[in-house]
Amino acid sequence: MRKYRIFILIAAVVLSALAAYGIFTAPRVEPTNSERFSAERVADDIKVISRKPHSIIHPKERAEVRDYLGDRLIALTDSSVVFYPYENATEYEGKPIDITNIFAQVDPVIDDPDHPEPTYLMLMAHYDSRYPQKVLNETVLSYGAADDGYGCGVALESLKQALRYRGEWRQGIKILLTDSEEWKLAGINSALEHNPEIFDNVGLIINLESRGNKGPVLLFETGKNNSKVLSLYKKAKAPYTYTFTTVVYEFMPNFTDFTPLKDSYPGMNFSNLDDINHYHTDLDNYDNISLHTIQHFGAQLEPIIEEYLTNHEYRDPEALVSDKSSVAFTIPALGLLSFSKGGCLLANSIVLALFCLIFSFALISGRIRPLKVLVASAKVLLWALVAFGIGELIAWVVSLIVGAKFSFMGVVRGVQFDEWVMIGTAVITALIIAICFFFGRKKASDRISSTAIRKSAAASGATKYSYNLLYGTMLLLLLLSAILLFTIGENFFFVLPLALAAASVFLWRITTWRGWLLAAIVVTLLHAFSFLYIVIIALTMGALGVLPLFMVIYLALLLPLADLYTRKEKTI
């Protein structure tokens, strides 16, 4: 039976990885002739938008893109499109720059006597590309295929899809395509200063961005008091969000068109984040676009837009305004989990109580020793900190070799093989932790068997080693969860694996079915694969140490769980 559990465990790990990275869960790319949101149709728009660089220093090329987008909007809406020109809106290298925003509005067809003034969903993107910048001593220009050809093309395709059911609209759509987002947010700031009326009765803003050219699309920012916005986001297919990213984003020197609006309007800010080396460089061109990424935009947006436009409760422009904030995260294949601040505190309290319960039982039954648990907890923390330091050292050395500018916990660009460095770091970390675990378990087994009479003593020693490490890691996770909960209010990436491990041990003990341990391993892996991926591609090589740090803690939890799952009945 033990042999079968080992095979089941291996299969579960592989399937968890495939599911987490969307191998068989990602939305299927829809062709040009599809009646659904089609990434291929969006690509047709991007091909035109990204023919040439069209940054703030390219007025002629920007005008060509502007005219194309205006014609596309006119063709879709069968109505006039408004161009808002702003003379001398900003300066670049001492020269005054004229910019022009593009605006279109499509009204609902169903009247509401209680709210005679209609409410609008506003889709936003910017149509300028990045101005020149240096990467590894070479000045490069972006073609704007992803940033923000993705946003413009997705906005057009989303409008096209919404118009199919316009007869059901209770709310309308506004489209705002801004100029000069890349340079000081000049487009959105000009709109707010000179034409604030275009934001009248806007009840929800969806901003579409791109940082990189591929990867899943993340709802990375919602603003404060987001509970109602997240309730609407639950309609999305293949949702992908961590409210933790909103907290992190506030401390980063990055801005989007949503930045000056997020305190005044409910909103969602979407972007893909992979790969930083394509971001704002000449690699951001049509040849490097990802149809899978574009389709993921559509998979999330289509149901959200339909719900907002057709549900009468959103006729009130204040419908998504809230005084409460929620904590949310996604687990691949399982979907979106959302908690109010009170619910999050309650969930943490339940996890604490559950841990105390199983800890007490393990202590009474003699499966663990308090001192060994504390030692194990301290060792895991020390290993994690050492792994973090080594990860940062690797990133510094690699940056030095290729001539990239290293930034500790900051963005590092120019390492073209950074993904392989990250994968290699992850694999080596996993191997080292696994070797240390099996060595420690064997050492514990040999130490007991050398003085014991019973043949089962060796197995008993190995099992106790797993128990002490498991409870030591859970204790560390509990401590880290408490610190983060009371400092930043976000601790799901520590409390979730703790909750799963504690619950599985509890259920195992009261039902005697070890499948609970496997379930905890699978769900933890689904979370870990997805979360660590988004963390490392968002923070880039400058934060490489974060990857092995988390891996040490997660593996120190998962390896003893796996060991207990696969052990013979008589030794546990």
pLDDT digits (tens, 9 = 90+) for 30-61: 999 999 999 999 999 999 999 999 999 999 99
**% of the chain at pLDDT higher than 90:** 73
CB distance 312 to 112 below 8 Å: yes
316/462 same-domain check: no
Is residue 289 included in any domain, yes or no? yes
- Whether 320 and 370 share a structural domain: no
Same domain, 451 and 559: yes
For residue 228, tell me if it sits in a domain.
yes
Q: What is the mean pLDDT of residues 81-97?
A: 93
Query: What is residue 17's three-state secondary structure?
Result: helix
**For range 86-104, the mean pLDDT:** 93
For the residues 201-217, what does the mean pLDDT come to?
Answer: 95
Q: Answer for the pair 317, 58: CB distance below 8 angstroms, yes or no.
A: no
483 domain-assigned: yes
Task: Give the global pTM.
Answer: 0.91
Q: Of the residues 294, 324, 354, which one is the last residue of a structural domain?
A: 324
- Mean pLDDT confidence for 363-390: 94
Q: How confident is residue 453, by pLDDT bands cut at 50, 70 and 90?
A: very low
Instruction: Supply φ then ψ for residue 66, to 5 degrees.
Output: -60, -45
Query: Does the residue 259 lie in any domain?
Result: yes
- Residue 58 three-state SS: coil
What is the predicted pLDDT for the residue at 250? 64
pLDDT of residue 456: 46
Asked if residue 249 is part of any domain, the answer here is yes
Provide the pLDDT for residue 462: 81
The answer on 132 and 70 residing in a single domain is yes
- The answer, yes or no, to whether residue 469 has pLDDT greater than 50, is yes
> At what angle are helices 59-77 and 149-163 packed, to 10 degrees?
10
Same domain? 172 vs 282:
yes
Predicted local distance difference test score (pLDDT) of residue 545: 94
Same domain, yes or no, for 286 and 400? no
Domain count within the chain = 2
Q: Does residue 188 form part of some domain? A: yes
Last residue of a domain, one of 299, 324, 349: 324
Does the pLDDT at position 186 exceed 80? yes
Residue 429 lies in a domain: yes
Q: Does residue 311 share a domain with residue 387?
A: no
- Contacts of 161-167 with C-beta under 8 Å, sequence gap 24+, read 161/36, 161/37, 161/298, 161/302, 161/305, 162/305, 162/306, 162/309, 163/76, 163/77, 163/106, 164/35, 165/306, 165/309, 165/310, 166/106, 166/109, 167/109
Q: Do residues 104 and 243 both lie within one domain?
A: yes
Residue 418, H or E segment: helix 418-449
Domain boundary (269, 302, 324) is at 324
CATH of the domain at 130: 3.40.630.10
Once rounded to an integer, what is the mean pLDDT over residues 391-397?
Answer: 94
Tell me: do 256 and 390 sit in the same domain. Answer: no
pLDDT over 70, % of the chain:
95
Q: 442 and 566: one domain? A: yes
Q: Are residues 73 and 211 in the same domain?
A: yes
Closest CA to 525 of 56, 156, 19: 19
Angle ∠(222,225,230) on CA atoms, nearest 5: 55
Let me know if residue 75 belongs to a domain. Answer: yes
pLDDT at 221 over 50: yes
Element (H, E) at 109: none
pLDDT at residue 571 greater than cutoff 90? no
Residue 251 is predicted with a pLDDT of: 57
Angstrom CA distances, 431 to 368, 383, 419, stand at 26, 14, 18
Enclosing domain of residue 382: 366-571
Of 107, 226, 232, 102, nearest to 171 by C-alpha is 107
Q: Indicate whether 375 and 308 sit together in one domain.
A: no
Q: Using the predicted structure, report yes or no on whether residue 87 has a pLDDT greater than 70.
A: yes
pLDDT for 570: 56
- 349 pLDDT above the threshold of 80: yes
